[in-house]
A and B are shown apart, each in its own frame.
Chain A
């Protein structure tokens, strides 16, 4: 019985000390780790921007740029208003309108976000635009494209993998980088994101737009509208998951009390003043 008590005491002592163990790391080690981390972080973000810039040039080359300064200015202002509430303040976001009849929106790493002219024309207010841009910003902040490429760096992260390719000095790494960019373009143009990435982008986009003051329900409204157009519009590209699944998930987020349910701004008048229907 005594022995059993000893055993129990020893095991309980170990259990109690377990959570405290990492605290013995020391402040100096923490500071050094922070400095190394920060410089790695800067290099990774630079690589992410360079990669995204190349991919953005591919998107523009593929769809064509809608060279309407007034429209681009407006889309940029709405997008940047939402991006101010994103978790990646180190990025400068660029928003552009694509001259395409296809209903779609794209995001390239590093903060490049695009929406087609056709998608803009299907919208009814600024809140819908804010939510859709918020959804695309979430693909940037969560690094969905880079993660999908499944390139791993020395520390096991996808961004470090891209950084490794960009800093690579051999022709082999340049070729690998080009291939990675083409694969990224294929994800955007053909294959689409994973359903869980789309659902995560919906939730974050909706919450970001709400933080900026827009009605988060606008994303649901637009997706329901898009669903109707899906049947009518043959040019619709199915690179987003079934609309009903997404709408249901959004309802779950709202029902769980995770989003603002109070009525917020939609700014329909300003939208129509800037987007010519």
Chain B
């Protein structure tokens, strides 16, 4: 009888331990599912488009609360589809995802201001490619390996003359904005 009581007590202890373990595992799983590390933590967002509106709802037909300019820092709260919920000075609203980035926007002059270094790299690359191509072709030709010569031939014709014409068409942002303004005004007056 005493033996049976001891055994049942041990069994109860064992069951209790197992239950505690199960509870712990269950809570950890629940924590991993429901509490992602990002949740509840705001994140930095920078306006990357020229300007952007902050809407009351994730819907452009809803009220536009305020407008922000390129480079403006916002506090991201959460993402939903194409939209980010943001807050700024205790006002909360929604902004399109494609108008913001996690890093501050890089200015054009930071990239194109170093034109010489950019094209130097490009020229180095091209001369390397040309050198390789001609060396390879002559070796292949000497060996009579016509198929190899075909392989190094550029698969597509490259037209850099046309590309330079295309790149020569330059407009400032102000000229573009004026073009847009002019069009919109004419449309309204019709």
B48 touches A87 (CB 8 A): yes
> Cβ of B58: which chain A residues have Cβ within 8 Å of it?
257-258
The reply to whether A58 and B158 contact each other, CB–CB distance below 8 Å, is: yes
Is A50 an interface residue, CB under 8 A from the partner? yes
Question: Interface digits, B91-130 against A, CB 8 Å rule (1 contact, 0 not)?
Answer: 0000010111101011110111010001001100100110
B83 CB to closest chain A CB (Å) equals: 8
Dominant secondary structure of chain A at its interface with chain B: helix
**CB within 8 A of B49: which of A4, A20, A87, A257?**
A87
B176 contacts chain A at the CB level, 8 A cutoff: yes
A28 CB to closest chain B CB (Å) equals 17
**Are A203 and B156 touching (Cβ within 8 A)?**
no
What is the CA–CA distance of A32 and B98 in the complex, to the nearest angstrom? 26
Tally A-B pairs: CB < 8 A.
208
Chain B nearest CB, measured from A224 CB (Å): 22
Query: Shortest Cβ distance from B180 into chain A, in angstroms?
Result: 5
**Residues of B close to A92: CB separation below 8 A:** 108, 112
The reply on B143 being an interface residue by CB < 8 A is no
Kindly list chain A residues whose C-beta atoms are within 8 Å of the C-beta of B167: 94
Q: Are A50 and B163 in contact (CB under 8 A)?
A: no
Complex interface: chain A residues within 8 A of B83 (CB): 258
- At the interface, yes or no: A37 with Cβ under 8 Å from chain B? yes
Q: Quick check: B111 and A90 within 8 Å, CB to CB? A: yes
The answer to whether A49 touches B111 (Cβ under 8 A) is yes
- List of B residues within 8 angstroms of A138 by Cβ: 98
- In the bound complex, do residue B156 and residue A182 qualify as a contact, i.e. CB atoms below 8 Å apart? yes
Known: A15-B31, A45-B111, A88-B48. A37 touches B103 (CB 8 A): yes
A157-190 near B? 1/0 per residue, CB < 8 Å: 0000000001100010011011000100100000
Chain B residues in 8 Å Cβ range of A81: 176-177, 179-180
Residues of chain A with a CB closer than 8 A to B28's CB: 11
Cβ contacts under 8 Å, B49 to chain A: 84-87, 89, 211
A53 at the interface (CB under 8 A from B): yes
Distance between Cα atoms of A50 and B120 in the complex (Å): 11
Question: In the docked arrangement, what's the CA distance between A220 and B83, Å?
Answer: 22
Min C-beta distance of A9 to chain B, whole Å: 11
Residue of A nearest to B125 (CB): A166
- In whole angstroms, what is the CA distance A18 to B107 when docked? 36
A selection of 6 A-B contacts at a CB cut-off of 8 Å is A12-B27, A21-B37, A64-B159, A81-B176, A178-B154, A258-B81
Residues of B within 8 A of A (CB): 20, 23-24, 27-28, 31, 35, 37-41, 48-50, 52, 57-62, 70, 81-83, 96, 98-101, 103, 105-108, 110-112, 114, 118, 121-122, 125, 128-129, 132, 154-160, 162-163, 165-167, 169, 171, 173, 175-177, 179-180, 183-184, 186-187, 190
